[in-house]
Amino acid sequence: MPVMAEPPLITIQSASLTFGGTPLLTDASLSVFARDRVCLVGRNGSGKSTLMKIAAGLVEPDDGEIIRQPSANARYLQQSPDLSRFKTVLDYIEDGLVGADGSARIPYLLDALGLRGTEEPDNLSGGEMRRAALIRALAPDPDVLLLDEPTNHLDLPAIEWLEGELARSRAALVLISHDRRFLETLSQRVVWLDRGETKELDQGFAHFEEWRDTVLEQEELDRHKLARKIHREEHWVTHGVSGRRKRNVRRLKELGTLKSTLKSATGPQGNVSITVSEADKSAKRVVEMKNVSFSYGERTIVEDLDLRVMRGERLALLGPNGSGKTTLLKLMTGGLHADSGTIQLGDNLEPLVIDQSRASLDLEMSLRDAMGDGNEAVIVNGNPVHVMRYMKDFLFRPEQATTPLRALSGGEKARVQLARGLRLPSNLLILDEPTNDLDLETLDLLQDMVADYPGTVILVSHDRDFIDRLAARTLAYEGPANWQLYPGGYSDMVRQRGKGVEAREGTSSKGKKKNAAAPRKGRAEKLSYKDTYRLKVLPEEMETLQATIKALTAEMADPNLYSRNAARFETASQELSAATDALDAAEMEWLELEEKREALDG
């Protein structure tokens, strides 16, 4: 008697869902079996997170069949966990143990991911919230793990620890991630969500992109064949010999059906079209550092560093969180002065920083206004481009023009940030964790853009594949204040060192500070009250200064102001200069305090 296959733990069949009149899912299916290893891929905004929420029971589709095995214990990791109603991290983690016994694993997971459990949620960074949410999901040792971007905000030691932990886990995995290396390591099956429908590949992610391209080529061939058949039928209707009336009516109906089929057989979403605005060339030597040392209080970030960056170079900075990568970037671009040694910056530098903070985005602003700053056209590389065309270049649909940014997905917000930055002319591109939330196709285009960029690129990333594809040299953290230069990218560095990036000294090998680590004598473990207060009030001060600058700029834009009131013109000019200087000082103070907080927390 044949052995019956075990039923899936979770089954979603032909799910459909419409948001705000726009179909998001039209025919989406997903089956998760015991010990499955599935990665869910698709463009930003395609509905991946929504399909995962349906699997987790958090969203109900408009139509479709959902079956969950009652005995299957599933845990879901969302992109933005909410810890606000809990007093401590441990309270939040233990709240997730209802109906499951995982308390014995909590101390191990806290140590592995560098948390103590006593942290208060209000004081957590985004990365610490993500680590807490991971512990909450992993602690019960569930049957199914639904993980939405689990590597976001994690450093390389934590990512590689998580890879090993998931590889050993008995749980079925459903993964959404932009990290190619992570997906290649863990996945055995791919579910591709495309234009509201799912397609499945019974192989790991390493085979996905070749298969996807083959599917799209076949679709294009099928559309071409259908269009030719319609052309032949139209020719018959116009020029063919008349037959019986019923036969003519039937063929006319069939022609209408063919046209409807062709209309509904839409091609894939367009490709991102990334164009960067070029500034004049910088000097051949972009930055030269000789015997550079820098410390925050008693903690030395870098000591006796020699580094020369030439025009056109691609340099990656690698290190765990808190190792000082942001400080190094500021030293290399003139944002900080060295305690000792010399730093010489090349002439004519016009740096552009693309980072993950998205602090410059006004979430109440419409997509159209954010892309064009309220203008009908944006200037890209000296040429005007209509804002609607610029939106299309970054894969936004015309009907999204009035959508507020707060309604966009994390990946769509990342594309907005990218689009706003790349309009600006530059010859030094600094990419600080640029890959967070971007879909794989946008990552491909970003890589192509960086490869073709005529200026210099300094890259900070925990994405190993992204570094391997772009970096010609890698400056890696080797221990306290020690940085070593290696030729090539991440894999080249691993081959030369015999190991990957390790956690900072005095921290857990998997994450951050060990529970048992004693505080360094004479060094505060937290920011002072004054520094904490300044971090709290500085954003409001900067917002006020920005409003003042905007108002003064608008006032001085009046062409008749000087002739009407020369004294007011002079006063406004002085006020604008003072407000600009004050904003620069406030921003620098905030950056330094954030770096200090990161160093102490890390």
Note whether residue 230 is domain-resident. Answer: no
Q: What is the DSSP letter of 355?
A: E
Least confident of 158-167, 215-224, 299-308, 419-428: 215-224
Interval 80-129: pLDDT, tens: 888 989 999 999 999 888 665 667 889 999 999 989 999 998 888 778 88
Question: Averaged over 152-173, what is the pLDDT?
Answer: 92
Residue 357's pLDDT band, with cuts at 50, 70 and 90, is low
Question: Averaged over 409-422, what is the pLDDT?
Answer: 80
Question: Are 454 and 485 found together in one domain?
Answer: yes
Question: Are 508 and 362 found together in one domain?
Answer: no
Top pLDDT among 69 and 537 is at 69
pLDDT computed for residue 230 by the predictor: 57
Note whether residue 453 is domain-resident. Answer: yes
Top pLDDT among 398 and 259 is at 398
H-type helices in 141-207, by residue range? 156-168, 180-186
Top pLDDT among 510 and 515 is at 510
Interval 541-559: pLDDT, tens: 888 888 888 888 888 888 7
Q: What is the DSSP letter of 205?
A: G
pTM of the model: 0.69
Question: Are 533 and 399 found together in one domain?
Answer: no
pLDDT computed for residue 356 by the predictor: 66
Q: Which of 159-168, 498-507, 573-582 has the highest mean pLDDT?
A: 159-168
Interval 245-254: pLDDT, tens: 444 555 555 5
| Rounded Cα distance, 89 and 79, in Å | 17
Question: Are 171 and 275 found together in one domain?
Answer: no
Question: Are 326 and 365 found together in one domain?
Answer: no
Q: Where are the beta strands (DSSP E) in 418-538?
A: 428-432, 456-460, 473-479, 482-487
Q: In terms of C-beta density within 10 A (0-12 exposed, 13-18 middle, 19 or more buried), how is residue 562 classed?
A: middle
Q: Which of 523, 540, 556 is the last residue of a domain?
A: 523
Number of H helices, E strands in the chain: 18, 20
Q: Which of 209, 235, 251 is the last residue of a domain?
A: 209
Residues 6+ apart with CB under 8 A from 22: 399
**pLDDT at 584 exceeding the cut of 80:** no
Residue 266's pLDDT band, with cuts at 50, 70 and 90, is low
**Residues 411, 334: contact at Cβ < 8 Å?**
no
Interval 282-295: pLDDT, tens: 678 889 999 999 99
Question: Are 78 and 195 found together in one domain?
Answer: yes
Note whether residue 96 is domain-resident. Answer: yes
Question: Averaged over 472-488, what is the pLDDT?
Answer: 91
**pLDDT at 270 exceeding the cut of 70:** no
Note whether residue 415 is domain-resident. Answer: yes
CATH number for position 562: 1.10.287.380
Residue 516's pLDDT band, with cuts at 50, 70 and 90, is very low
pLDDT computed for residue 101 by the predictor: 64
Q: Which domain holds residue 398?
A: 356-419
Question: Averaged over 42-64, what is the pLDDT?
Answer: 91
Question: Are 139 and 157 found together in one domain?
Answer: yes
pLDDT computed for residue 515 by the predictor: 37
pLDDT computed for residue 305 by the predictor: 93
pLDDT computed for residue 247 by the predictor: 46
**Phi and psi at residue 349, to the nearest 5°:** -80, 130
Q: How many domains does the chain have?
A: 4
pLDDT computed for residue 511 by the predictor: 42
Residue 27 corresponds to which amino acid?
D
**pLDDT at 347 exceeding the cut of 80:** yes
Question: Are 457 and 315 found together in one domain?
Answer: yes
Q: Which of 523, 553, 572 is the last residue of a domain?
A: 523
Note whether residue 218 is domain-resident. Answer: no
3-state secondary structure of 593: helix
**Residues 301, 340: contact at Cβ < 8 Å?**
no
| Rounded Cα distance, 533 and 536, in Å | 5
pLDDT computed for residue 484 by the predictor: 92
pLDDT computed for residue 377 by the predictor: 87
Nearest CA-CA partner of 318 in 113, 166, 159: 159
Question: Are 557 and 501 found together in one domain?
Answer: no
Residue 296's pLDDT band, with cuts at 50, 70 and 90, is confident
Residue 360 corresponds to which amino acid?
S
Q: Please give the structure tokens belonging to residue 449.
A: 């853009």
CATH number for position 23: 3.40.50.300
Question: Are 150 and 200 found together in one domain?
Answer: yes
Nearest CA-CA partner of 34 in 143, 196, 166: 143
CA distance readout (Å), 22 to 16, 17, 45, 64, 400: 11, 9, 12, 17, 10
Q: Kindly tell me the sign of the dihedral angle through the C-alpha atoms of 457, 460, 465, 466.
A: negative
Question: Are 275 and 366 found together in one domain?
Answer: no
Interval 435-446: pLDDT, tens: 777 778 778 878
| Rounded Cα distance, 474 and 551, in Å | 44
| Residue 156: half-sphere exposure toward Cβ, Cα within 13 Å | 26
| Rounded Cα distance, 207 and 504, in Å | 35
Note whether residue 221 is domain-resident. Answer: no
Note whether residue 20 is domain-resident. Answer: yes
Cα diameter, the chain: 100
Question: Are 323 and 362 found together in one domain?
Answer: no
Average pLDDT over the chain reads: 81
Note whether residue 510 is domain-resident. Answer: yes
The H or E element spanning position 261 is helix 245-264
pLDDT computed for residue 245 by the predictor: 43
